[in-house]
Amino acid sequence: MKLTALGSSLLCATALLCAMPTIASAQNLVRNGGFEDYGLNNRKWKHYGANSAMDFGWTPTGGSRIEIRNNVAGTAFEGKHYAELDSHAYNRNAEEIGLFQDIVTEIGQKYTLSFNFGPREQARVNGDNLFSASFGDFYQEFDAGNYRDGWQSFSTTITATSELTRLKFLSLGKRDTYGANIDNVRLETATMPDAEAVPEPFSMLTVAVAGAIGVQAKRMKGKRK
């Protein structure tokens, strides 16, 4: 079957559009943001001290430990692992209970911080799932809710004011080893393309098709002379 000249032009325009490069997905600057590198077996949990925890990207605050769970007292938001902030085996005299990670940043650059948080899924945990998140000048306190509330999502854009910025999560509730969970922690460079410089795909296709039709119309008009 032979294609018409107009059909060939349309196919060429579509192929040209498809060949254009796409914008790559943003890189997560948080190491082990989903806590999957801990590699626990199903229905296992473990807490990590400062020496062992650093191998997985996160560091416990002084006197604290990092508690990682795999399908224990709840399930992960993504993957299999998640962290509970009110960990076991912490020093009761510790000023803070939580975990942090220092990330290289560029002064003046905007970053998008996002994560998921939820309550410990046990009936005795009711209204004591308080925690805070901080990154540079950003600080906010959260209530993960009651044991039936499930996972929630949070996202914000922050401008870096330092070349090294600390991302930190702290448990704020009663220190009883029953606290809020976090998962899927992401920090991405918030670079938005110029809307005028980068046309939308549909607009690009419209321009390409219109151009192809115009060229073909001129050819047909020339043949009729």
Across 57-75, b (16+ Cβ under 10 Å) vs e yields bbbbbeebbbbbbbbbebb
Q: Which residue shows structure tokens 């809020």?
A: 180
Low-confidence ranges of the chain (pLDDT < 50): 1-23, 193-210, 212-213, 215, 217
Residue 173 has a pLDDT of 77
Residue 198 has a pLDDT of 43
Asked if residue 147 and residue 69 are part of one domain, the reply reads yes
Asked if residue 209 and residue 118 are part of one domain, the reply reads no
In angstroms, the CA 105 to CA 109 distance is 8
Instruction: For the chain, give the number of residues.
Output: 225
Indicate the residue type of 39. Answer: G
Asked if residue 169 and residue 93 are part of one domain, the reply reads yes
Q: Give the full edge-to-edge strand order of the sheet including 164-171.
A: 59-60, 98-104, 164-171, 130-135, 138-143
Residue 146 has a pLDDT of 81
pTM comes to 0.73
Asked if residue 85 and residue 146 are part of one domain, the reply reads yes
Asked if residue 218 and residue 143 are part of one domain, the reply reads no
Say if 132 falls within a structural domain. Answer: yes
Range of the domain at 143: 36-189
Asked if residue 157 and residue 203 are part of one domain, the reply reads no
Asked if residue 184 and residue 116 are part of one domain, the reply reads yes
Residue 32 has a pLDDT of 96
Number of structural domains the chain divides into: 2
pLDDT digits (tens, 9 = 90+) for 166-193: 999 999 978 777 789 999 999 999 975 4
Q: Which residues contact 178 (CB under 8 A, 6 or more apart)?
A: 86, 120, 122, 124, 125, 128
Q: Which residues contact 155 (CB under 8 A, 6 or more apart)?
A: 112, 113, 114
Indicate the residue type of 178. Answer: Y
Say if 48 falls within a structural domain. Answer: yes
Asked if residue 162 and residue 86 are part of one domain, the reply reads yes
Asked if residue 120 and residue 19 are part of one domain, the reply reads no
In angstroms, the CA 135 to CA 115 distance is 12
CATH code assigned at 104: 2.60.120.260
By three-state DSSP, how is residue 1 classified?
A: coil
Asked if residue 185 and residue 208 are part of one domain, the reply reads no
